Structures are given as C-alpha cells and as structure tokens.
Amino acid sequence: MNKNDIFVVYGNQIKEMTFSLLEKANIEKLIPSKTAKIGLKPNLVVARTPEGGATTHPKIVVSVIEYLHSLGYSNIKIIESAWVGDSTKRGFKVNGYYEISEKYNVELVDVKDDEYVEKTLNRITMSISKEILDLDFLISLPVLKGHCQTLMTCALKNMKGCLSDSSKRLFHSLGLMVPIATLNAIKAADLVIVDSLNGDLDFEEGGTPVKTDRMFISRDSVLIDTFAATLLGFKSDDVEYISIANELGVGSMDLNTANIEYLNKPEFNEINRPKGVVASLAKYTNPNKACSACYGNLIHAIKRLEENGELNISDKICIGQGYKDCQDKSLIGVGICTRGLGKSLKGCPPSAKDMMDFIREN
C-alpha cells in the first residue's frame, strides 16, 4: 500500500469489510516484524456504545486483532483515553473491551494511568503516552463524525486521545487547530482505518448518528482526513488542522494525486427512520430504496447548507435505486440511479461536497 492510496468498502458486515481493507493494504508488508509492538487506538471519547455515532465499533477492533493473529502478530495493545471528565475504563466496560482483552490476550492501556513523555514542537509542550511512543506500529481506528469546535474529527484529531488530561486542556486553550496538527507532526498513526458506519452529524459525543455503512483505510492521516472532509460536506480548508498538518509535513492533502479505490459499491439497506435533528433535514428528501452511504451524504450536505444559511430547497431531492427507471423530467435527484430525471448529479455515491454544489446550482 502506497502513501497516496485510499481504499473504501461499503456494507454492514464489519468483519468482512475490515479483512478486505487489511488484505488490500497488504499490512504484512507495512509492519516491521512479527514481534513488533502494535497499538490499536480506537475512539472511546465517551462511555457509550457505537450506535450513538460517537465511538469505534468494537467489532472493527476485534476484526483487526483476528486478522493480525492470523498473520502471526501477537504483541498487540489497545490504547485509549476518554475525554476529560469521563472514564476510559467505563468506556472499555460498556463496549466489551475487558472480554476482548481476555479472549484475545490483548492488553488494555488507559492513557489516563500511563506514564508520559514531554515533547515540544512549535513552542507547544505536550505530555504524550509513553505506551504510544514506544510502539513499532500504530493503527488508528477513528470514527468519522462532526465536531462542534473543529467541524469534524477523524484521523488527525483521534491522536488527541494519546495525551494526558492536562495536555488536552492545554490544546483547548490554544484553539485545538495548531496543537492537533503539531501532535501529529510528533506522532502520527502508521495506518488509519476509519469507522464511517454511522458517525454523528455534529457532535463528538454522539446523539445524532447518520448511517453511511462504509469504512476506509490509508497510511496518510492528512490525506484520509481531506477525503473524509468531502464526505461530510466540507472543503479541507474548512478544517484548519488539516491544512496546518499538511504544512508541517505530516502528509498530503492533494486528492488529485491520490489513488482512491472503491472495493465494492454500496448496496441498498433499509434506512433507519430519522429522528430529531436528522428528521428535520430528511423532509427535504424523497428517498426510494436509497443506499445508506448515498443518503447519509445527502443528509450531511443539507446540514452544511443549513449551517451556511444557503438552504433553499423548493423541490424534494430524489435519491435511491427506486428511480433507476424513472424519466420524470420535473424531478431533481442525486446519485447515478437518478440519471433519468430532469436534473441529476452523477456518482455512486457522490460526496456531500458535490451534493452541496449541485443543490446550490439547482
């Protein structure tokens, strides 16, 4: 797997999806030795299960462990820290990590209890987990979701869970953007597998999940965050820490030179009936057998337009496989399945950013 590769897979069979990404990445060629110290860094920001859209699905963690074991790697630790004010151990408990630890002989490391090493860059001194710094290979398992302060969180921001609580507070006092990028310049993940199954629409702590049924993988945290931003309806420049990390040499934000490969196409899955905030956005849509990945992108696009004061939709946006044979020229739709309508946006699925541009123009 090259640094400019991004591999994407759709579906709801988590083990099969994880295995297909790791196989495509040829992970055995990336890890330095069979005895390498490998760390898995999920997102357990709060002690909640993944259905709320805040935390990494434990089935992904288990699947990575099983895949690594099948290749002969056994020196594996799960390393994480909840946000200030919540308990990592409670997050481990509610998500079944103690059982995972026992079954697979994998150590759990609560960064809040770890020793720290002080590192300074850009005149920012931070205390980083010694366990993280001692690893030979770090696999980050972030959730792609919105964030009330940084707009989004994915690979780069997931590294914040490697800090002491005092350094987390420092990052907030400094505005998050420069510190997050600086942290990754000191220590970035060697491989990133993104849980984009049902990330929250706006908040790091979850509550308004949007089902998208996808995962993706890359070696470059900047590149994968740049790609992820488009899926939420943002430009990479909107998320300041991405461009700062690019400037610091953490990775590349040039999607034009990226090799983005889709391992399959999204399939129709029954969409959960939206509630609350999501329901208020769904009223602008007319789904008919819509794939969750495509529909999720449309919900994100409508939300970003609303935030920007640009939401002006007079006709409902059609979406889904139910429109494949429809030739009604009075309708407007997104996704390749709506190509017979009067106005249609190509893509399977188009990104939220492309959907925003299309809706603005039409």
Q: What is the pLDDT of residues 190-212, one digit of tens each?
A: 999 999 999 988 778 888 899 99
Asked if the model's pLDDT at residue 172 lies above 90, the reply is no
What number is the average pLDDT over the span 27-34? 96
What one-character-per-residue DSSP string does 230-293 give? HHTT--GGGSHHHHHHHHTTS----GGG-EEEESS---B-PPPPP-HHHHHHHTTEEESS-BHH
Assess contact for 306 and 281: CB atoms under 8 A: yes
What pLDDT score does 216 carry?
Answer: 98
Check if the beta carbon of residue 192 is closer than 8 Å to that of residue 217.
Answer: yes
Residue in 298, 301, 280 with CA at minimum distance from that of residue 356: 301
Under the banding of pLDDT at 50, 70 and 90, the label for residue 276 is: low
Among 15-19, 99-103, 114-118, 317-321, the least confident range: 317-321
Q: What distance in Å separates the CA atoms of residue 67 and residue 38, rounded to the nearest whole number?
A: 13
pLDDT category at 271 given cuts 50, 70, 90 is low
pLDDT at position 195 is 98
Residue 137, pLDDT above cutoff 90: yes
Summarize the confidence of residues 158-169 as an average pLDDT: 95
Across 112-121, 206-215, 278-287, which has the greatest mean pLDDT?
112-121
Give pLDDT, residue 237: 86
Bridge partners of 215? 9, 195
Inter-CA distances, 229 with 14, 60, 145, 330, 353, Å: 22, 22, 10, 32, 8
Average pLDDT, the chain: 93
Tens-place pLDDT, residues 48-64: 999 999 999 999 999 99
Residue with tokens 């964030």: 147
Pairwise CA distance, residues 327 & 214, whole Å? 30
pLDDT of amino acid 217: 98
Closest CA to 222 of 173, 170, 257, 196: 257
Whether 316 and 260 have beta carbons less than 8 Å apart is answered as no
Angle, CA 149 vertex, CA 148 and CA 155 arms, to 5° = 95
128: its two tokens: 């980083």
Flag whether pLDDT at 299 surpasses 60.
yes
Question: pLDDT band at 146, cuts 50/70/90?
Answer: confident
Categorise residue 11: left if φ over 0, alpha if ψ from -120 to 50, beta otherwise: left
The reply to whether the predicted model has a pTM over 0.75 is yes
Phi then psi dihedrals of residue 117, to 5 deg: -120, 130
* 105 backbone φψ class: left, alpha, beta (φ>0; ψ -120 to 50): left
Residue 290 in this model has a pLDDT that exceeds 90 = no
**CATH superfamily of the 5-262 domain:** LarA, N-terminal domain (3.40.50.11440)
Q: Where in the chain is the domain with CATH 3.40.50.11440?
A: 5-262
